[in-house]
Amino acid sequence: MKNLNGISNLSILSILASILGIIILIPIIFIIYENFASNLEFKQSFLNYFYDTFHLILLTSFFCIIFGIIPAWIITFLKIKYKFFFDLLLVLPLAIPGYVMAFIYSDLLGYGGVIDFFLEKKFNQVISFDVLSINWLSLFLSFSLFPYVYSTARVSFSLIGNTYINLSESLGVNTMSKIFKVIIPLSLSAIVSGLFLVIMEILNEYGAAEYFGIKTFSVGIFKYWWALNDKNSSIFLSFILLIIVLVLIFLNNFFKKNENKIQYHIKSSSIILKKIKNPFSKFFAYVVIGVPIVFGLFVPLLSMTNNVIKNFSKFDFTELSNLIQNSLSISITASFIIVAITLFILIIKRYSNSNLLKFIIKILSAGYAIPGAIIGLSIMLILQQNSFISVLMGTTFLLIYAYVFRFIAVAIFTIDNNLKKQPYEFDKLADSLKLNNLKKFIKINLPLSLNSIIIAFLIVFIDIMKELPLTLILRKSTGKFNTLAIEAYNKAKNEELANSSLYSLTIVLICIIMIIVVNIFLKRKKHVH
Amino acid sequence: MFIKIDKITKKFDEIFCLKNFSMSIKKGEIISIIGPSGSGKSTILKCISGICKIDKGKISINNKRVDNLPVNKRNISYVFQESPLFPHLNVKKNILFNLKKYDKEKLFFLLKKTKIENIQNKYPYQISGGENQRVALVRSLIRNPDLFLLDEPFNNLDNSNKNQLKKIIIDIIKETNTTTIFVNHETQDSLEISDKILILINGEKKTIDTPFNIYNKPKSLKIAKMFGEVNELLIDNKKVYFRIQNLIITRKSSIKGRVIESKFMGHFYKITVRVDTQFVNLLSKKNIKKNEIIYLKVIKDNQLHF
């Protein structure tokens, strides 16, 4: 279809989509430019940020592997009662933001906490845990982050199926060797992908690290910008963090590329579940599944609920209602915009096959890995340097723009995966039936993508509901717009954990409902396929 | 007997897959199991290997019961339908997977025999389907198994690869004197490579005999038809059964027919003839025109009796 000047409408749309992609990418381009344009120097104190960040990453990853992989193996390969519920319960801790988890456990285990109080009262023992340390924070964060490793490992284990298990057994392999020689190597890329997400979340973590006094890069960026008014150091730290993230993305892609060749050869087959005969082993299996569920879900939920019930009469429910309204409206609006932009860009890429658009989408896909602090900082820098657009400071528009950059990758991943599964023959068939691109989209690609669009919307929604550092930076300048996440963080920071619990519990309950809905849609998707 | 399978039964969801199945195998023998889809062929192999637990019965190898042992303690090698190689290991590591000690000379012999000595460092995604099957074969045989199980190993292979692999398998099994059970749906392959053929229908053993007897003296028309076309003809009010190559054209005979169709099959023509109201097929080196009248003779010695 051509317009009056002979340029096809698809070309115009492709240029439009590319421009849109570039606009979304501006913050990242700017931070790189600023790093080279400013006179930046490396300070000795930056080494502490390296040390603390890597210490936190290593320990949290270790705990996530333990809490994620072993339950995934048990649920996939062994006959377990109430498997469906365990499977769901092991994903639900994702609904609890890392900073909320850390606040709750520091409250429970710290000086004057429930455990301390109980031990003192019952046994007249004073055992104080110094929970405000990297080691404890790693454990607390892993309670909320292990589902990333669990879900990727679970999918990968299911794909291995029975063929390789039977084969390795017939080649004389015992259970332990089977895990280390077959199951783990075949799932390595999935486990690495899960760990990659965990690491990205740790790099993005601000609230918990700041509360625990841990010097992560995100904390450093905030500190130099707001507390020390040292803009250059803040930019430098952002740049280093960006380089680390890019290296991690490269490593993850390298693993994936190699593993794609391996995955291609894995013929999935149904799994015959093994019965656990020994009662002790059975008990042990339930304990292994139960520990991450209890500590990642039940303890924090009970603790928050207990705090809410105890302080029920003191809460300002008008404020809560306003915050819910704010959080829901911004999350719904931003999720809708993100999904719409994603769909537009991906469909134009599919119809036009534009290489520029493919390249832009590749870079946008890395957006999720870029910590919120970097995005927030670069947007602030852009606004400070241009008086014309500085009026946007503190506006919802700016916040949504930042969310688009940060979370568009989530939507791209979900919707693109679905679009790739739709054969191009459908498009050709539509062309042969003389449907124009709009009708082709409405009648073919849209209905086929509907499930993935809903899933993408829900996942982005959950992420925005929990988001803290980006919102914190962009509303800090004006302080006008508050969300549940910010208020939960502020109250916890001011040692008002009981008050914080109300907001945290609200976030968690909303996210839990959303995760259950996502799970239902995912099951439906499987059924449809 | 080296292998003794005694009245094994296996049910899935209350449906019998195997019912009181028994069989004995001598050391070094190759047994083919033939049967329609869903007859329980692969289930037998899974039960023997231990992948599936039997509900009843006994399995012994060299007078030692193995049905109560786990899969990894039975010393049985199993080459699956699409015998997968571990995609994260190269060919050599796949072959030596989980082996602490191995016979280097035997490995050299097997690699040479299967012609895969040059691909040892390649990964599964770098080799062809035929090579994949040969690697799986070597991986199984290097372990000196007491029993070697092959589950439709020629599936998905083209004719050239299949013929090569067939010859390699027979040579190696005979040279290493490995007792083998071979499940296949291609009856021609079973006739070629087996010492005995077992017919399995609905999880029950119908017969077990040499390939020659199974082909020429089948116990039922159903079994006869599994191994090739069978003509039925009413001669002197008596129904006579015979294979199509045992019907020949003669100058004068009491059986007279009209040619209905002639199909070129490569080495020969397949002629369909109408005899009164009956139709029979025969093989001819020459083409015969449609509607031509011909006389036919059944080679008496090769008639099938059920």
Share of chain A above pLDDT 90, in %: 18
From the list B71, B85, B124, which residue is nearest A170 (CB)? B71
pLDDT tens per residue, range A97-136: 888 899 889 888 877 777 777 777 777 766 666 788 899 9
Q: Are B165 and B172 in contact (CB under 8 A)?
A: no
Query: Which residues, listed in sequence order, are joined to residue B59 by a DSSP beta bridge?
Result: B5
Selected residue of B52, B82, B88 to mutate for chain A interface (largest A Cβ count, 10 A):
B88
CA–CA separation, A124 vs A351, rounded Å? 72
Mean pLDDT of A497-519: 86
Q: Is the pLDDT of residue A527 over 60?
A: no
Residue pLDDT, tens place only, A293-333: 999 999 999 998 988 898 888 878 888 898 899 899 999 99
A491 contacts: CB under 8 Å, gap ≥ 6: A497, A499, A500, A503
The span from the CA of A468 to the CA of B21, in Å, is: 67
| Chain A residues with CB-CB distance to B85 below 8 A | 265
Question: How many whole angstroms separate alpha carbon A218 and alpha carbon A102?
Answer: 16
With beta carbons less than 8 A apart as the criterion, state whether A289 and A86 touch: yes
Spatial distance between the Cα atoms of A502 and A495, rounded to a whole number of angstroms = 14
Residues in chain B: 306
C-alpha distance from residue A302 to each of A14, A508, B145, B210 (Å): 51, 12, 57, 73
| Phi/psi-derived region of residue B84, left when phi > 0, alpha when psi is between -120 and 50, beta in every other case | beta
Q: Supply the ipTM of this predicted assembly.
A: 0.72
Are the beta carbons of A170 and B97 separated by less than 8 Å? no
Instruction: Name every chain B residue with its beta carbon within 8 A of the beta carbon of A166.
Output: 51, 71, 78, 80
Assess whether pLDDT exceeds 90 at residue B101.
no
Ramachandran angles phi, psi of B79, nearest 5°: -105, 115
| A146: pLDDT strictly greater than 60 | yes
Residue A101 tokens read as: 């988890």
> In residues, how long is chain A?
529
The mean per-residue pLDDT over the stretch B110-114 comes to: 89
CB–CB of A525/A115 below 8 Å?
Answer: no
What is the least distance, in Å, from the CA of A64 to any CA of chain B? 24
Q: What is the pLDDT of residue A128?
A: 65
Q: Which residue has the higher pLDDT, A110 or B175?
A: B175
Tokens standing for residue A374: 């970097």
Q: How many CB pairs under 8 A join A and B?
A: 70
CA distance B177 to chain A (A): 20
Highest mean pLDDT among A187-191, A390-394, B138-142: B138-142
Tokens of A157: 């284990």
A270-285 residues labelled b (16+ CB within 10 A) or e (exposed): ebeeeebeeeeebeeb
**A528 pLDDT above the threshold of 70:** no
Greatest mean pLDDT range, A249-253, A408-412, B22-26: B22-26
Q: Which residues of A touch B78 (CB under 8 A)?
A: 166-167, 170
**How much of chain A exceeds pLDDT 70, in percent?**
91
State mean pLDDT over A454-461: 87
Check: CB of residue B44 under 8 Å from CB of residue B199: no
Q: Is the pLDDT of residue A62 over 90?
A: yes
pLDDT higher than 90, residue B163 = no
For the segment B40-97, what is each residue's pLDDT rounded down to a tens digit?
888 999 999 988 889 999 999 988 999 988 888 888 988 877 778 888 889 999 999 9
Rounded to 5°, angle at Cα B97 from A266 and A265: 10
Using the predicted structure, report yes or no on whether residue B290 has a pLDDT greater than 80.
yes
Pairwise CB contact (< 8 Å): A262 & B88: yes
Residue B169 has pLDDT above 90, yes or no: no
d(CA B167, CA B182): 14
User: On the CB side of B300, how many CA atoms lie within 13 Å of its CA?
Assistant: 1
Contact B51 A261 (CB under 8 A): no
**pLDDT, mean of residues B179-204:** 89
Give the pLDDT score at A496. Answer: 81
pLDDT at position A236: 83
- pLDDT tens per residue, range A255-303: 777 666 665 555 556 667 778 888 888 999 999 999 999 999 999 999 9
Token pair of A91, please? Answer: 């994903």
The pLDDT, as a whole number, for residue A363 is 80
Q: How far is A173 from chain B (nearest CA, A)?
A: 6
State the nearest Cα–Cα gap between B194 and chain A, in angstroms: 24
List chain A residues with CB under 8 Å of B143. Answer: 171-172
How much is the average pLDDT of A193-217? Answer: 88
pLDDT for res A270: 64
Taking CB atoms and an 8 Å cutoff, what residues of chain A touch B70?
169
Residue A227 has a pLDDT of 78
Q: How many CB atoms lie within 10 A of CB B64?
A: 10
Q: Are B207 and B44 in contact (CB under 8 A)?
A: no
In this prediction, residues A510-517 reach a mean pLDDT of 87
Q: What is the mean pLDDT of chain B?
A: 89
Among residues A101, A299, A291, the alpha carbon closest in space to that of A211 is found at: A101
Contact B275, B233 (CB under 8 A): yes
Place of tokens 């016979």: B103
The reported pLDDT for the residue numbered A59 is 96
The 8-class DSSP code of residue A170 comes to: H
Per-residue pLDDT tens for A222-231?
888 777 777 7
Q: Do B88 and A185 count as a contact with CB atoms less than 8 A apart?
A: yes
Query: pLDDT for A229-248, tens place per residue?
Result: 777 788 888 888 888 888 88
